[in-house]
Amino acid sequence: MNHVQALIDAIGEGAVFALIAVGIGLVFGVLRLINFAYGQLIMVAAYALAFPGNWPDAASIGLAVLAAVVASLVMERIAFRPLRTADPSTMLVATFAIAYLLQNGALLQYTYRQQGGLGDSIGTLSGLNQAVTIGSLHIRWVTFLAIGAGLVSLGGLALILTRTSIGLQMRAASMDFRTARLLGVKADTVIMAAVAISGVLAAVAAVVLSISSTSVNPTTGFQETIFVLVGVVAGGIDRLVSATLGAFAIGFAIELVGTELPNSGATPFTSNVYMPSVIYLAVIVVLLLRPAGLFARRGQRTVERV
């Protein structure tokens, strides 16, 4: 394992995390809500990928996008909309409840299907799991896909946000929701648009994740989402770009620290089992030094220190 290979793998992991972060950052921008159920949205999309079995790739990806968009819109309608004016902690706990509901719903279906083991295999785009070999370096095609999908979704989103009317309304809503409403921005439409786009992004993330894992189970997407949530806040959640960069950084760091630390050793911080501690410690230091986020604009102080 040479260091260049480790860097390449780290970039691939960072790209996957960045892709997840775009959807979370977009919803946060409009609703000021950290959606803990986003990982379960990815799981729903991954189950939709696994469900048809032998459909053509394009059709099953279409189904996954549809499933994730419908699930996110339903989530918005039954939980976010009625609680929009409630205390932020209420909305946050509502996302816990939805996450719990979806995760246990996924678990419950195995009781009915009476199939051994918890997990369904996914064969969509499995060719991309192959690696290209350049000298001694191996780069899997899915790494390119993750980077490409990340860039395309950020770019596409930038186009939507800057070039369309609904994008303008979204940006207005994320700057000052009340004033935007006073000026005639339809709150429901804007929020539904943002939530639907985040659903599409969840489906894209599900495709990328399931190419490398080749299967889906009730915990798919959960661990990644927790790290991404930490990453977007450490990067700076108030802007989409800084949030995405934060998630990229945490994915990159996770992969790099995991491969560069030795494999064995029980004393804290001496082996790769302590990778999470290293990452979380770094996050705490970043937040203490720059509470608004590592990549936030200088002078931007939306988060107050006491």
Partner 1 sequence: MRRTTWLQELLAPIALVALLAIASSLWVSSADQSKFQTAIVYVAIVAALYVFVGNSGVLSFGQVSFVAVGAFSAGVMTIPAGTKPGVLPTLFPLLRDHSISNVWSLVLAAGLGGVYAFAVGIPLMRLSGIAAGIATLAVLGITYNLLTYWNSIGPGATTLSLIPETTDYWQATVGAISVILVAFGYQRSRFGRQLRAAREDPAAARAAGIDIHRQRLWAFTLSGALSGFTGGLYVHLLGSIQTNQVYLDLTFLTLAMLVVGGISSLLGAVVGAIAISLFTILLGNSEEGIHVFGWGIKAPAGTSLVGVAVVMLVILLLRPAGITGGREFSLPSTFARPRLRSR
| Residues 123-182 within binding reach of partner 1 (CB under 8 A) | none
Establish if 1 lies at the interface with partner 1 (CB under 8 A).
no
Question: Among 61-69, 154-162, 207-215, 263-271, which window interacts with partner 1 (CB under 8 A)?
Answer: 263-271
Closest CA to 189 of 46, 302, 77: 77
**Gap between the Cα atoms of 118 and 123, Å rounded:** 17
| Residues 32-91 within binding reach of partner 1 (CB under 8 A) | 34, 36, 78-79, 82-83, 85-87, 89-90
Establish if 306 lies at the interface with partner 1 (CB under 8 A).
yes
Find the shortest distance in angstroms from Cβ 68 to partner 1: 19
Q: Which residues contact 48 (CB under 8 A, 6 or more apart)?
A: 60, 63, 64, 66, 67, 68, 203, 206
Find the shortest distance in angstroms from Cβ 284 to partner 1: 5
Could you give the angle at the alpha carbon of 164 between the alpha carbons of 162 and 169, nearest 5°?
Answer: 80
**Gap between the Cα atoms of 216 and 164, Å rounded:** 36
Find the shortest distance in angstroms from Cβ 78 to partner 1: 8
Establish if 267 lies at the interface with partner 1 (CB under 8 A).
yes
Q: Which is nearer to partner 1, 83 or 142 (CB)?
A: 83
Q: Which of 62, 105, 123, 156 binds partner 1 (CB under 8 A)?
A: 105
Find the shortest distance in angstroms from Cβ 147 to partner 1: 26
Q: What character string, x for contact with partner 1 (CB under 8 A) and - otherwise, covers 235-254?
A: --x-----------------
Find the shortest distance in angstroms from Cβ 247 to partner 1: 12
* Cβ–Cβ under 8 Å, residues 46 and 216: yes
In the chain, how long is the greatest CA-to-CA distance? 61
Find the shortest distance in angstroms from Cβ 303 to partner 1: 5
Q: Which is nearer to partner 1, 8 or 240 (CB)?
A: 240
Count of residues interacting with partner 1 (CB under 8 A): 52
Region of residue 45 (left: phi > 0; alpha: psi -120 to 50; beta: else): alpha
Q: What is the DSSP string of 178-201?
A: HHHHHTT--HHHHHHHHHHHHHHH
**Gap between the Cα atoms of 271 and 163, Å rounded:** 49
* Cβ–Cβ under 8 Å, residues 130 and 241: no
* Cβ–Cβ under 8 Å, residues 191 and 80: yes
Q: Which residues contact 229 (CB under 8 A, 6 or more apart)?
A: 24, 34, 36
The footprint of partner 1 (CB under 8 A) covers 34, 36, 78-79, 82-83, 85-87, 89-90, 92-94, 96-101, 104-105, 107-108, 111-112, 226, 229-230, 233-234, 237, 266-268, 273-274, 276-277, 279-281, 283-284, 287-288, 291-292, 303-306
